Chain A
């Protein structure tokens, strides 16, 4: 059991600073070697998790949820009321989504998600977060200058549009429901899912194209 002693852990980090190998790959390799030697981890289980998050669990799940919300008003209502239950209709409940909330973009509102304190992200529905989401530049600036950050992503926002930034400080996680692109009334759910970008579900993309090929 941990002793929950901050000073002791701070000291350990100072020792690790001196004693760990010199680059990221070697440091992770050292950790894997020790945990495998000690029979805490089997490398095949690591492989399995990597494959799960490379193939099945990723932003294509989120895109399916968005496409269903666009196509089925009753589903959208359930998603806005109780997102964990609604995503689990598709079997997508999982790591970090038991307290998921969906925030909806409109012509007058744009939503943007961040975690300024660590890098909280709704894993089971969006997969592994992009590196920029976890980096200091995004985490520091998006709460202070969201319009500037959006411009950097090539998204221009009218002055009248309200920008809502959601800083994930608790165990709630946020998924942005982007606006359905015009001219897509004829599309089925699968085709609609192909229009949804990962960034649009984080909020760093806004105007989705109605005729694009698969983005994810």
Chain B
């Protein structure tokens, strides 16, 4: 979807806060949200659907709320969407009788067990597929001109542009369909674009932009 999340190349967002203190969490609530996100998730959810649910946050909320706050809102939306949390419970601020509940207590991890679980969370997203890759390294390609209404990882700023295949990364799960619950795989390439192909006024600057793009985002030049 052409949503507010697709920020590459947009202008007017002001200076970067480069002097931020180098700490993992700036507020306790950020740490709590990180811990919540690691501890539980909606059954059957996948990362692409979760990302799409974050993209669907209203633009004014997406831009005005801090990052981990938007994770909390996304978590709320995904739990409400499957009926684990109800809107009445959001309003009342506590779990209500007769609503979703689990009888078993949840697992309790120690920090050492969390570190081990983090190691075990090294999820791979690639798979063998039957077809051969259409494009080869060094070949010129053009990206699709349009996106679509659902989740996609082809940003607006590289649509309809000419790039070169820099690398081939095997076949990876295709996010546009994964976000709809369908597990399919496509060849994934790293495509390099000259800065001057993307941005007015950047001729002569030695900038190159690399993106990892799926085969169906690309056509032969």
Contacts and interface: CB of A to CB of B under 8 A. Distances in A.
A85 B126 CA distance: 16
Interface string A146-182: 1101001110000111111111111110000000000
Interface string B141-181: 00000000110011101000000000001001101000111
Contacts of A44: 108-109
A14 B175 CA distance: 25
Nearest to B173: A171
29 contacts: A1-B44, A2-B45, A9-B52, A9-B77, A9-B81, A14-B58, A15-B90, A16-B90, A38-B99, A38-B101, A45-B114, A48-B109, A56-B115, A57-B118, A95-B121, A97-B122, A99-B125, A99-B126, A128-B34, A130-B22, A135-B17, A137-B17, A143-B198, A160-B206, A164-B208, A167-B8, A169-B154, A169-B211, A171-B173
A53 B34 CA distance: 9
A176 to B, nearest CB: 13
A170 B48 CA distance: 10
Contacts of A34: 79, 85, 89-90, 93-95
Interface string B176-211: 000111000000101000010011001001111111
A30 B22 contact: no
Contacts of A21: 93
Contacts of A42: 39, 105-108
A5 B180 CA distance: 8
Chain A's interface size range is 35 or more
B24 A58 contact: yes
A187 interface: no
B132 interface: no
Interface of B: 1, 5-11, 13-18, 20, 22, 24-36, 38-40, 42-45, 49, 51-54, 56-58, 61, 63, 65-69, 72-73, 75-82, 84-85, 87, 89-91, 93-95, 99-111, 113-115, 118-126, 149-150, 153-155, 157, 169, 172-173, 175, 179-181, 188, 190, 195, 198-199, 202, 205-214
A139 interface: yes
B110 A172 contact: no
Interface string A104-132: 00000000000011110001100110111
A132 B123 CA distance: 26
Contacts of A51: 111, 114
B151 to A, nearest CB: 8
B25 A54 contact: yes
Contacts of B42: 2
A16 B76 contact: yes
A144 B9 contact: yes
Contacts of B45: 2
The 4 closest A-B pairs by CB, nearest first: A46-B35, A116-B8, A37-B95, A170-B212
Nearest to A118: B51
A141 interface: yes
A180 B50 CA distance: 39
B217 to A, nearest CB: 9
Given A25-B27, A162-B206, A116 B102 contact: no
Nearest to A100: B122
A39 interface: yes
B100 A38 contact: yes
Contact of A13 (B57, B181, B199, B205): B57
B118 to A, nearest CB: 4
A141 B13 contact: yes
A177 B68 CA distance: 28
Interface in A52-107: 52-58, 84, 91, 93-95, 97-99
A97 B153 CA distance: 19
Nearest to B42: A2
A152 B16 CA distance: 7
Contact of B82 (A1, A45, A139): A1
Contacts of A98: 122-125
